[in-house]
Amino acid sequence: MRVDLIIKNIGKLVTCKDLGRPKIGKEMNELEIIENAYIAIRDGKVIEIGVEDGYKSIANNYTKIEDAKGLLVTPGLIDSHTHLVHGGSRENEFSKKLASVPYIEILNEGGGILSTVNATKNATEQQLYDKAKKSLDRMLELGVTTAESKSGYGLELETELKQLKVSNKLGKEHPIDLVHTFLGAHAVPVEYKTNHKPFIDEVVNKMMPKVKELGLAEFCDVFCEEGVFTIEETEYILSKAKQMGYKLKIHADEIVSLGGAELAAKLNCTSADHLMAASEDGLKMMAKNNVIANILPGTSFNLNKAYANARKMIDLNVGVSLSSDYNPGSCPSENLQFVMQLGCLGLKMTPYEVLNAVTINAAYCIDRQNEVGSIEIGKKADFVVFDAPNVEYLMYHFGINHVNQVYKNGTLVVD
């Protein structure tokens, strides 16, 4: 048997084992932890997991052996909601934010998302690429090996395509694997403020078919919020998207409880994201229809808003994932480890629940559960060696980067 690489002497190997569906309820607080373990890899995939010096019987002269020095190893982290590719930044709005001017008010004055739309229109493909690459490099250093990436800063065909092309190029060229989402309905351009219909027609009849034809996005998402897209508009856009073969996501019930969770259940979305204001009925419907609740506590932290009710979601058997929402407005940070710490400190999730939420459940959130999210035979050899004695330590010691090494497809990419 050919073995390319063995990582031995893993103090604690956390596999985040896949149950064949997202973890819910008490399962979220369960982790398989193998002590003094090794992992064997061939062609970028895991081919064996064992303990102690069992690897000696499969290693040969060609096998590279790395020593994890007794540290903690987890699956590569998955950031299942980001607005990775965009132009510019919004520190010019920071003082308004600090003075408690609401996020939606800044948007309605032509700032917020709309100011990033201008910056993205004015940026060249190369500029967008370079900026997003810098963010991906940061994510990788923090242990992220797979991420989702949304468009939504074009609001017209040309710029949406530009963003998605950059995203697809990065997905091929950067060690982080990317899953692409079309978010043409992210804000209403000023000229359509009083009449959304022609803009929605542009999104549905012009942008969605073109993006699909070019194979640039697998998911379609809408920012469903008071003052942005209504429930009815969101349902119309996403139903059309479904007909075209997109998988679905919704920015749902972030600020106002509009019924986004209910709609996500009705449309069988893969995930509903944010949910800070989601109703209990909506959450129950999500549980019934297996919609993942993708919670973004970095946004609550940064907007100084209440955290989503993660405890209630877990009690109701909704599968929970966590992600950064990295974007220039509501969460200008790529740091998924900080998000994990907020998962404990803000959402009151346990460290085990948090780790499941950024690995296996995050994989389900982007439909990559067959490739990533757990360390198991046949899956990609994506993992993080953390300079930490146990899982709890990752959340307890906050605000620093615990990564010692990152492997992607069995290749050492951060050391």
Binding positions for Zn(2+): 81, 83, 251, 325
334 binds Fe ion (CB under 5 A): no
116 binds ligand NIG (CB under 6 A): yes
d(CA 403, CA 415): 9
For the CB of residue 263, give the shortest distance to ligand NIG in the complex, in Å: 16
For the CB of residue 164, give the shortest distance to ligand NIG in the complex, in Å: 16
Q: In terms of CB distance, is 223 or 386 closer to ligand NIG?
A: 223
Q: In terms of CB distance, is 73 or 139 closer to Fe ion?
A: 139
For the CB of residue 331, give the shortest distance to Fe ion in the complex, in Å: 8
Question: Which of the 8 DSSP states describes residue 205?
Answer: I
For the CB of residue 94, give the shortest distance to ligand NIG in the complex, in Å: 13
Which of 76, 112, 297, 346 is in the footprint of ligand NIG by CB under 6 A?
Answer: 112
Give one word for 355, left, alpha or beta, with left for phi > 0 and alpha for psi -120 to 50: alpha
97 binds ligand NIG (CB under 6 A): no
- Kindly write out the interface string for residues 286-325 of this chain, putting x where it contacts Fe ion by CB under 5 A and - elsewhere: ---------------------------------------x
Instruction: Name the CA radius of gyration of the chain, rounded.
Output: 21
Task: Please report the beta strands in 55-188, taking only residues with DSSP state E, as ranges in sequence order.
Answer: 64-67, 72-75, 77-79, 144-150, 177-185
| Buried/exposed 385-394: b ≥16 CB within 10 Å, e otherwise | bbebeebeeb
Q: In terms of CB distance, is 330 or 359 closer to Fe ion?
A: 330
Which helix (H) or strand (E) segment is 413 a member of? strand 411-414
262 binds ligand NIG (CB under 6 A): no
Closest CA to 286 of 71, 81, 24: 24
Give the pair of three-digit tokens for residue 232. Answer: 């009815």
CB atoms within 10 A of CB 384: 27
How many degrees, rounded to 5, is the angle at CA 257 between CA 337 and CA 107?
70
- Kindly write out the interface string for residues 8-47 of this chain, putting x where it contacts ligand NIG by CB under 6 A and - elsewhere: ----------------------------------------
Which of 17, 23, 83, 249 is in the footprint of ligand NIG by CB under 6 A?
Answer: 83
d(CA 55, CA 60): 10
Residues lying near Fe ion in the complex (CB under 5 A) are found at 325
Residues lying near ligand NIG in the complex (CB under 6 A) are found at 83, 112-113, 116, 223, 251, 254, 299, 325, 327-330
